[in-house]
Chains A and B, each alone.
Chain A
């Protein structure tokens, strides 16, 4: 049973516009959340993270928002660029758990 869900398998956005990726989780013990980006034939690379004591974390064009009461987080990419076309995975962990639980991924395509 997946504890982290990304319900949109794909997203298409025009270059320069905002990309919004959503992620829901069910485990209330999760307190650390991460986003990874993956290009074809490469391993995922860490993008941005947020701990449960915050509700927003920003790094350049990337911002992650956390709504603990809704068990929901989102990743905003502004402005979207062609190099952002990739699969984005949401992941979560809780307490001292060594494991990360990953969502199924959202494929983002940025159109010129």
Chain B
């Protein structure tokens, strides 16, 4: 079974803090994704990576950056957390273009 793990299930940070969300997948997938899920808005793509050291902006990249130094690990960085970044963050991976994405359990981030 594919396993996608996220470093924290719940996180509380203060406004202005730098926040790192880590995601690791164990199936040698090329593509990895970061989404946020908000009520009434579904899942919105923040960034994705189609290979090591490659990254592309998604639909809502502002306020975020990413890092993919190794194939199995994709990190989401909030450079200076703000209250409007309070959300559920979901990481996903997939082996090739036409395939379903496998999601991690999510990180519920609260910025106060």
A104 touches B102 (CB 8 A): no
Contact, CB under 8 Å: A105 / B42: yes
Q: For the complex, is B58 an interface residue (Cβ under 8 Å from A)?
A: yes
Main secondary structure of the interface of B (DSSP, over half): strand
CA distance A12 to B83 in the complex (A): 33
Looking at chain A's contact residues, the main secondary structure is: loop
Contact B31 A98 (CB under 8 A): yes
A28 contacts B by Cβ under 8 Å = no
Q: Which of A34, A91, A99, A104 contacts B48 (CB 8 A)?
A: A99
Considering the complex, give the chain A residue whose CB is closest to the CB of B30.
Answer: A98
CB-defined contacts of B43 to chain A, threshold 8 Å: 44, 89, 91, 102
When chains A and B are docked, how far (Å) is the Cα of A96 from the Cα of B96? 10
Rounded to whole angstroms, the CA-CA distance of A4 and B44 in the bound complex is 11
Q: Give the bracket for the number of chain B residues in contact with chain A.
A: 20 to 34
* Total A-B residue contacts, Cβ distance less than 8 Å: 57
Among B90, B100, B103, chain A packs the most CB atoms within 10 A around the CB of B100
Assuming the A-B contacts A42-B105, A43-B106, are A96 and B42 also in contact, with contact meaning beta carbons closer than 8 angstroms in the complex?
no
Contact of B103 among A6, A9, A43, A104 (CB under 8 A): A43
- A20 touches B (CB below 8 Å): no
Known contacts A9-B40, A98-B31, A104-B42; decide if A46 and B102 are in contact (CB<8 Å): yes
Known contacts: A41-B106, A98-B56. The answer to whether A46 contacts B42 by CB under 8 A is no
Q: Is the CB of B45 within 8 A of A45?
A: no
Which B residues lie at the A interface, using CB under 8 A?
A: 4, 9, 31, 33, 35, 40-45, 48, 50, 56, 58, 90, 92, 97-98, 100-106, 108
* Given A41-B105, A93-B98, A99-B48; 18 other pairs, CB 8 A cutoff: A36-B100, A36-B103, A41-B9, A42-B105, A42-B106, A43-B4, A43-B103, A43-B105, A49-B100, A51-B98, A93-B97, A97-B97, A98-B48, A98-B56, A99-B58, A100-B33, A100-B45, A105-B42
